[in-house]
Amino acid sequence: MEVILAKSAGFCFGVRRAVELAQRLAGEEKPYVMLGPVIHNQEVIRDLERRGIGCVERLEDLPPDCGVIIRSHGEGRAVYEKLEAMGREIADATCVNVARIHEIVRQASGRGRQVIIIGAPEHPEVRAIAGWCEGAKIFRNQEELDTFLMDKEENHQKPITLVSQTTSTHKIWAPCREKVKKECTNAEIFDTICNATCKRQSEAQSLAARCGAMIVIGDKKSSNTTRLAELCRTHCPLVYHISRAEELDQSMVSGVASVGITAGASTPGWIIKEVKVKMEENTNVMEIEESFADMLEKSIKTLNTGDKVTGVVTGITATEVNVDLGTKHAGYIPLAELSDDPTAKVEDLVKVGEEIETYVMRVNDMEGVATLSKKRLDAVKNWDIIETAVEEKTVLEGIVTENNKGGIVVNVKGIRVFVPASQTGMPRGADLSEMIRQTVRLRVTEVNRSRRRVVGSVRAVAAEERAAKAAEVWENIEDGKRYEGVVKSLTSYGAFVDIGGVDGMVHVSELSWSRIKNPAEVVSVGDHVSVYVISFDPEKKKISLGMKDRDQDPWEKFTSTYDVGATANVRVVKLMTFGAFAEIVPGVDGLIHISQIADHRIDKPGDVLEEGQQVDVKITDIDFERKKVSLSIRALLGGRGAEDEMDEDQYEE
């Protein structure tokens, strides 16, 4: 017969912590008493009583001058208040996962929310949870929850906070969660089933599915163990729930090829060993997936400050992340030790059920607690990355967090990298505070790990990237090719545009079909523009660009819109001694001769007109060959404008 022991059989870390706390207190000079069994296992309670740790069920029965041990299931807030009023010393053995639920419901109740607990109303853990909020509703399953929701329509509108007993099953919890999610408009849902419980139940079901019989070890009053047996029965025809080895009868498993053994979270190792030994007495061939000695060694494995350890996230509270390390210590990561990034959200960094590698900061063997840090372990790894980056000339990315007189500070993987002002890539004298919160790429140039000093250069990376882009531009450039560029600077005669590592110039005449005096009338520094190549000189590294659309011929637009004799509203663009030029359409100007500006003699055009002024004119002549247009204001005033003759030379600027 093959005998297989489940890997997760026996004490969970919460139960182990509670028992070890009680055992340590048994050696203290001051007597201590359990307020209710510290765990659900009579054998453990009897052992503690032999050590001098008594047990009472009511506060009134407490002996005088003794300390009080709060059981792993926890107690309601009122119990703590009464004990404090009595002046009693409290040794709190409440499981950290249960304590997390206490905090959830306490905060929810304080915000006026209706707390709903999925669990057994008579279970001490559930009673304790209810004791941390006002008017909690407790339901065993979805059927009871349905009755509550159907009772009053207003129950659907209530702000509900839903939690579960830690030892519940997903078979019970999942339908309740989905029901509330679907029907309640203002619900908070917390999956508070203990990860260790889930793991134990999953392994037990998997083992039951491949064995002819299952032995489930644990106290008959233990909810955890009872549910374990129920789950096993759904997969295996022969399931026996026993408390001790004495209850085991070999006839139970006679003729069975394989027997699986699992144990509830409150079952101590010595009882599992008793069952194992008794099975060995009548079994010739025995396979244990994980020996009891190995399990025992793992359960008492010590932790030391500075150790790197891997655990499983079992809970997330407002102040910390709970981690099951598989040892006798309850591990937790303060939120401040989770990440260096102050903007990071906890839910984006860790999730319940995930493995997490951490660094041990402190170990408290007395309380069975280990303070962990993910941030510090990440820092060690990140220093390795920084040092490697220097050797391999790797480009790193970071966020600018501050600036000072000498330069800027960049956060690269949680490590401060100083970039001198000359290496930021910004012009001399520029305001470096503009770079704060920008993401930059840099190369590390100097590292001194012992002094925690790192120096980098943004300019070096930018220069290399720009050189590479420039080489690509010059390799593929050709007349007429279009580029998307950024305006880098403006001069009186044009604009310089970066087309990807190379600057080209757009002459003022190529910025627009309209007559403009200053490039700033059309573009600004930083604008994204579409340009095309007019000409280029690879030797002199000069590129002439155009921006106005050459596919649109302004003359064609003009001639298709206007004829001789038509009137138009035009803009005066330039005043000359002999007249004024006016823009009819962008790219086509006409001349208003000085004799055609007014119905009386004037000394100069500026006496009547000014640049930028909009005026109505009559088109008196169109020279299609030379693309010249004559305009007249006087013709619209009833004068002889269109009949007056002008010297053609006066048309030229």
Sheet of 239-242: strand order equals: 2-5, 258-263, 213-217, 239-242
Active-site positions read 125
Residue pair 18/72 in contact by the 8 Å Cβ criterion = yes
Alpha-carbon distance of 5 to 272, in angstroms, equals: 9
Residue pair 259/2 in contact by the 8 Å Cβ criterion = yes
Cα separation values, 428 from 102, 437, 632, Å: 58, 20, 55
β-sheet bridge partners, residue 359 = 308, 373
Contacts (Cβ under 8 Å, ≥6 apart) of 457? 419, 420, 423, 442, 443, 445
The closest alpha carbon to 224, from 296, 315, 293, 125, belongs to 125
Alpha-carbon distance of 69 to 81, in angstroms, equals: 14
Residue pair 496/505 in contact by the 8 Å Cβ criterion = yes
Alpha-carbon distance of 418 to 401, in angstroms, equals: 10
The closest alpha carbon to 591, from 509, 649, 637, belongs to 649
The closest alpha carbon to 15, from 334, 324, 360, 364, belongs to 324
Name the helix (H) or strand (E) containing 423: none
3-state secondary structure 162-201: EEECCCCCHHHHHHHHHHHHHHCCEEEECCCCCHHHHHHH
Contacts (Cβ under 8 Å, ≥6 apart) of 285? 1, 2
Alpha-carbon distance of 156 to 57, in angstroms, equals: 38
3-state secondary structure 450-475: CCCEEEEEHHHHHHHHHHHHHHHHHH
Residue pair 517/572 in contact by the 8 Å Cβ criterion = no
Alpha-carbon distance of 263 to 461, in angstroms, equals: 60
Residue pair 497/486 in contact by the 8 Å Cβ criterion = yes
Residue pair 361/337 in contact by the 8 Å Cβ criterion = yes
Question: What is the CA 597 to chain-centroid distance, rounded?
Answer: 70
Contacts (Cβ under 8 Å, ≥6 apart) of 513? 548, 549, 552, 554, 586, 587
Cα separation values, 121 from 114, 127, 324, 641, Å: 17, 7, 27, 105
β-sheet bridge partners, residue 505 = 496, 544
Task: Please classify residue 297 by burial: count the beta carbons closer than 10 Å to its beta carbon, then call 0-12 exposed, 13-18 middle and 19+ buried.
Answer: exposed
Q: Which residue has the tokens 């997936």?
A: 289
Residue pair 306/359 in contact by the 8 Å Cβ criterion = yes
Question: What is the CA 640 to chain-centroid distance, rounded?
Answer: 79
